[in-house]
């Protein structure tokens, strides 16, 4: 489902003497449908960078990143947008939404974007928010007023609202209590059961072992300072 071949990435800082910083060289990774692969490595090794490259959020200088049928490296913006709407989900560490929009609508939005009827979308949103223990009295408020942990759970509900065939999860269990961590792990398990290919970053080793079938240390792709 996801195939990464000989991928390299550099940052060029034009306003700092055009410094060129290589951050990844010749990365390779394949994830099959129904499989969850963990990215590991020390902070700064490039786990999130690789994830952002797969999502098309960072440009890739060399190699191929195939998700479904599409090569992200050469795809047009509108092809990537369609892939993000239908095929590739991403749960980032931070919630980014229009202010003053109700939580229920924030969670429903990815479903509305693929044409799910509003009632059906709201029903699924309610179900997810209940499972993630967001109290019902908060559903009509904007999640931007919530605590950090609550925001993260809203973000997860939104990420799992549409059943994407491929998913990227950046620290989905960080700063969650035991009960909510269990819920997230079972959401991941359910996604795998229906055949989703998942790439995840988990600091929590126990969670990583439960959710993931194997792990890849991205620091082998980090260029050594010479």
Partner 1 sequence: MNPLLKVENISKYYGSRLGCKDVNFDLYPGEVLGIVGESGSGKSTLLNCLAGHQEPDTGKVVFDTRADGPKDTVTMSEPERRMLSRTDWAFVHQNPRDGLRMGVSAGGNVGERLMAVGARHYGDIRGTAVDWLDKVEIAEDRTDDRPSEFSGGMQQRLQIARNLVTGPRLIFMDEPTGGLDVSVQARLLDLLRGLVRELGLSAIVVTHDLAVVRLLADRLMVMKDGRVIETGLTDQVLDDPQHGYTQLLVSSVLQV
DSSP-derived secondary structure letter, 45: S
Closer by beta carbon to partner 1, 35 or else 170: 170
Burial label for 86, CB within 10 Å (0-12, 13-18, 19+), is: middle
Contact flag: residue 122 with partner 1 (CB under 8 A): no
Alpha carbon distances (Å) from 73 to 18, 36, 42, 144, 150:
23, 22, 26, 33, 34
Q: How far is the CB of 185 from partner 1 (least distance, A)?
A: 28
Contact flag: residue 99 with partner 1 (CB under 8 A): yes
d(CA 69, CA 65): 10
Instruction: Select from 101, 116, 138, 174 the one that contacts partner 1 (CB under 8 A).
Output: 101
Contact flag: residue 52 with partner 1 (CB under 8 A): yes
Q: What would the DSSP string read from start to end of 132-200?
A: TT--GGGTTS-GGGS-HHHHHHHHHHHHHHS--SEEEEESTTTT--HHHHHHHHHHHHHHHHTT-EEEE
Q: How far is the CB of 48 from partner 1 (least distance, A)?
A: 11
Contact window for partner 1 (CB under 8 A) among 8-16, 187-195, 198-206, 207-215: 8-16
Contact flag: residue 80 with partner 1 (CB under 8 A): yes
DSSP-derived secondary structure letter, 8: E
Contact flag: residue 114 with partner 1 (CB under 8 A): no
Q: How far is the CB of 11 from partner 1 (least distance, A)?
A: 8
Contact window for partner 1 (CB under 8 A) among 12-20, 131-139, 154-162, 169-177: 12-20
Contact flag: residue 17 with partner 1 (CB under 8 A): no
Contact flag: residue 174 with partner 1 (CB under 8 A): no
Contact flag: residue 141 with partner 1 (CB under 8 A): no
Instruction: Select from 41, 46, 56, 172 the one that contacts partner 1 (CB under 8 A).
Output: 56
Contact flag: residue 69 with partner 1 (CB under 8 A): no
Q: What would the DSSP string read from start to end of 10-42?
A: EEEETTTTTEEEEEEEEEEEEE-TT-EEEEE-S
Q: How far is the CB of 55 from partner 1 (least distance, A)?
A: 9
Contact flag: residue 57 with partner 1 (CB under 8 A): yes
Contact flag: residue 59 with partner 1 (CB under 8 A): yes
Sheet holding 88-91, edge to edge: 88-91, 166-170, 197-201, 36-40, 214-217
d(CA 196, CA 211): 13
Residues forming the site for partner 1 (CB under 8 A): 11-15, 52, 56-59, 77-78, 80-81, 96, 98-101, 112-113
């Amino acid at each position: 489902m996801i195939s990464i071949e000989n991928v390299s990435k550099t940052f060029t800082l034009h306003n700092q003497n055009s410094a060129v910083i290589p951050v990844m060289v010749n990365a390779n990774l394949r994830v099959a449908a129904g499989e969850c692969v963990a990215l590991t490595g020390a902070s700064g090794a490039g786990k999130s960078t690789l994830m952002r490259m797969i999502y098309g959020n960072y440009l890739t200088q060399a190699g191929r990143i195939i998700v479904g049928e599409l090569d992200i490296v050469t795809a047009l913006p509108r092809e990537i947008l369609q892939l993000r709407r239908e095929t590739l989900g991403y749960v980032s560490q931070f919630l980014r939404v229009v202010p003053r929009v109700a939580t229920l609508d924030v969670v429903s939005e990815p479903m509305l974007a693929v044409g799910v009827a509003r009632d059906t979308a709201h029903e699924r949103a309610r179900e997810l928010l209940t499972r993630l223990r967001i109290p019902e009295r908060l559903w009509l408020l904007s999640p931007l007023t919530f605590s950090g942990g609550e925001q993260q759970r809203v973000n997860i509900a939104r990420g799992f609202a549409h059943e994407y065939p491929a998913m990227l999860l950046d620290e989905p269990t960080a700063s969650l209590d035991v009960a909510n961590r269990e819920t997230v792990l079972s959401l991941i398990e359910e996604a795998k059961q229906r055949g989703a290919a998942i790439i995840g970053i988990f600091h929590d080793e126990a969670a990583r072992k439960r959710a993931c079938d194997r792990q890849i240390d991205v620091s082998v792709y980090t260029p050594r300072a010479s």
